[in-house]
Structure 1
Amino acid sequence: RQFMLETLKRPGRVIILRDISEEKELEKVRDDFFHMITHDMRAPLSTIQGYVELLIKIIPKAERTDKYLKSMLYSSRRLRGMIDDILNTTKLETGTLMLQTEEIDAQGFLDRIKENHEPVAGPKKIELTTVFPTQNFKFHGDPLMLERVVTNLLGNSLKFTPKGGHIILAAEESEAEIRISVEDNGPGIPEKQRKSIFEKGAQMEEHKNMGFGLGLAMCSMTVHLHGGKIWVESEVGKGSKFIFTVSKSLSIN
């Protein structure tokens, strides 16, 4: 900042420097720790997921057995997704994540995500619906990263939507972008919380034990990397609608 030297009658300047080497080192240790833990967890989790998928194929169909196995498969996929979110968030923050873009069939993309979440929606009697234009369309993007975005949004909707509720997954296209939305009839989000909802660790005031975690922060960074934007429209007591866009200017790499 500038100040006036009384004796010399001329301006002076004070420069304050702060050494952040220790903070940077602690940050690196934290990131390395998360990286090591998440990588070590991936292998056994993939084994569990693989065997559950095999059991679903070979065990004779029975309502109770099928329900339990599908619930196990959903839980293992969800945990794997959370691990991926930790790794991806670190890469997104450091600018080291490269999109692996390819052509995506919009209807197949959302139908697959809907099917993966039926084991959770079923017991809560929540109706999952997909809505598309009359004519299906394809677009370019990173299918794994975008699946994590929709999965996080849908997972939050399933978490907060009451029994007997409904959730709508929708996709539409315009000349410049693709728009995907997840709409529910849950409790809604108060206006003061909407501005910070895409920040790390954001929580619902009424549900302190049911935060949004890394999920929405990762969603925001992923969407921006796809040349799009993400926002929420909500009314307390009526529900929420999360919407994000993907630029149609993305090419396949």
Structure 2
Amino acid sequence: MIGSTADIRERKTVEKAVIHAKERLEKANQAKLELISRMSHELRTPLNGILGFAQLLEMDDSLNSQQQEFVQAILNGARHLLNLVNEMLDIARIETGEIQLTYDVIKLDSVIDESVKLIQPLADKRNIKIVNQAQLDEYYVYTDPTRFRQILLNLLDNAVKYNRDNGTVMITGRSEGGNICIHIKDSGVGIPKNEHEKIFEPFYRIKGTEVDGTGMGLALVKQLIQFMGGTIGVESELGAGSDFWFSLPAIKGDYSGGMNLYQKRLLQMGEKKILYIENSEANLKLMEKILEPFPNFSLISANCGKDGLKMAFRERFDLILVDIHLRDISGYKVLESLQKDGRTKQIPVIVFSADIASLEMEMLKISKKGLKEYMAKPLEVGLFFRKLEQIFTQNKNKEN
């Protein structure tokens, strides 16, 4: 008993220490954000004057070549400083959770094409060829359009700046485990393996290069992608170029916003309450966007299996959506618990998984206890609407 009491006391002491450490970190991040915000304000005021007058001098035809060169140096230095301040402020906002993202459905091919056009003039100066082989016309991502373009432009800009003259930049994309993975590969000098992680740190510059930059770009890109629920990485060798890649949750199919037959029918289904058990914040926001055209659907979310089960047992739902890969318990255990309980046994369920082969095998076992629908990721929106229409129609017929 003494030992147990001591263990409990020690655990509480550790928990308090963790809480205090977290509070100190939050205060430190907040203080850093406030400092950078004040610094940003103080720097922007003189920078506004410097950039404004320098641009007026740039347009002055009476300046000789040397004077024009000096003006360009002033402009480049001021713009460099402004970019540095902006990127530092963005990173600080992400770390404190105060950055605001405006989510929307993005057609990947369109955004990639737009980004390439913006970078092309920089590539043309050194005869660098940008080849877009992504072919992602049937895929969409649900994220912040402005920040997504910022990520693409930053990576493309680096692929050009750190490339060799007459080199190439190759853009490819593919579906991987419910996500879209975009690769931006250059034919530059490459990065030593011991620097692969360091290049994502603020102010770190690749050794042996003289390329202009703030040293903040990749750090900001990594923070943004992680904030959006994605991942980023790099594969590179000295002399063999670099391949930067990032992935984000995706949806597949036509999402042009047109109202198809299934959507019209869903609007006539009456009030429906749907529970979505999913631990990915990005996927939760994606489902909210997909069901946004249906004011008759009420979507409730749970970010772990245990919380989802509590909600399912406590409230009455017309449909439950479950992701197989949850952070606390397996999605299969959630299904079994729903099937065993009389309160939830008759509620239809759709299961989502990126590993569709394994899912099909498991669903054969589970279906013996009660038929369940399952769908692969990336989610095909049109098929999802058809499944919803089918499920709600069947339930309506049963009630009648």
Same fold (TM over 0.5): yes
Cα drift, residue 84 of structure 1:
4.2
Between the aligned partners of 2:149 and 2:46, the Cα distance in structure 1 is 21
**Among 158, 166, 170, the residue aligned to 2:168:** 166
| Contact map agreement 1:81 1:148 (CA 8 A) in 2 | no
Q: Distance in 1 between matches of 2:247 and 2:51?
A: 31
Q: Provide the TM-score with structure 1 as the length reference.
A: 0.69
Give the equivalent residue in structure 2 for 1:179.
181
Q: How many residues align?
A: 205
- Paired residue for 1:31, among 27, 33, 36? 36
1:87 equivalent to 2:89? Answer yes
Distance 1:43 1:82 in 2: 15
Distance in 1 separating the partners of 2:156 and 2:183: 10
Q: How does 1:1-253 map to 2 (within 5 A)?
A: 27=32, 30-37=35-42, 40=45, 84-133=86-135, 135-207=137-209, 210=212, 213-248=215-250, 249=283, 250-251=285-286, 252=289
Report the residue type matching 1:30 in the other structure. Answer: L
Which shifted more, 29-38 or 133-142? 29-38
Task: Report the CA distance shift for 1:84/1:32 in structure 2 as closer, same or farther (over 3 A).
Answer: closer
Residue identity matched to 1:35: S
Which one has the bigger helix percentage? 2
- Change beyond 3 A, Cα 1:87–1:29: closer
Aligned equivalents of 1:101, 1:46: Cα separation in 2: 33
Contact 1:172 1:180 in 2 (8 A): yes
Return the alpha-carbon distance in structure 2 between the equivalents of residues 128 and 215 of structure 1.
20
The Cα of 1:46 is off from its aligned counterpart by: 11
Unaligned runs of 5+ in 1: 1-19, 48-74
CA distance in structure 1 between the partners assigned to 2:131 and 2:50 by the alignment: 30
Quote how far apart the aligned CAs of 1:205 are: 1.2
Q: Following superposition, which runs of at least 4 residues in structure 1 exceed 6 angstroms of deviation?
A: 23-26, 41-47, 78-81
**Structure 1 185/24 Cα, relative in aligned 2: closer, same or farther at 3 Å?**
closer
Q: Give 1:7's aligned residue.
A: none
Assess if the C-alpha contact under 8 Å between 1:38 and 1:87 holds in 2.
no
Residue 197 of structure 1: SS of its match in structure 2?
helix
CA distance in 1, matches of 2:153, 2:128: 16
Quick one: distance in 2 between partners of 1:115 and 1:209?
A: 22
RMSD of the TM alignment (CA)? 3.3
Alpha-carbon deviation of 1:208? 5.7
Distance 1:184 1:209, change over 3 A: closer
Give 2:219's aligned amino acid: A
Report if aligned partners of 1:101, 1:143 keep a CA contact under 8 Å in 2. yes
Distance 1:96 1:134 in 2: 32
CA deviations on 1:106-127 (whole Å, 9 max, x unpaired) are: 1110000000011110110000
Change over 3 Å in CA distance of 1:45–1:26 after alignment to 2:
same
SS of 1:189's equivalent in the other structure is coil
Q: Residue 204 of structure 1 contacts residue 210 of structure 1 at CA under 8 Å; is this kept in 2?
A: no
- Give the Cα separation in 2 of the matches to 1:224 and 1:28: 19
Tell me how far 1:81 sits from its aligned partner.
Answer: 6.3
Distance 1:177 1:41, change over 3 A: farther
State the AA in 1 paired with 2:188. G
User: 5+ residue gaps in structure 2?
Assistant: 1-23, 53-75, 251-282, 293-400
Q: What is the SS of the residue equivalent to 1:162?
A: coil
Deviations 1:114-144, CA, capped at 9 Å, x for gaps:
0001111011000011112374322211111
Query: What is the alpha-carbon distance in structure 2 between the residues aligned to residue 42 and residue 178 of structure 1?
Result: 40
Q: Which amino acid aligns with 1:228?
A: G
Q: 1:215 to 1:176 in 2, by over 3 A?
A: same
- Aligned partner of residue 245 in structure 2, secondary structure: strand
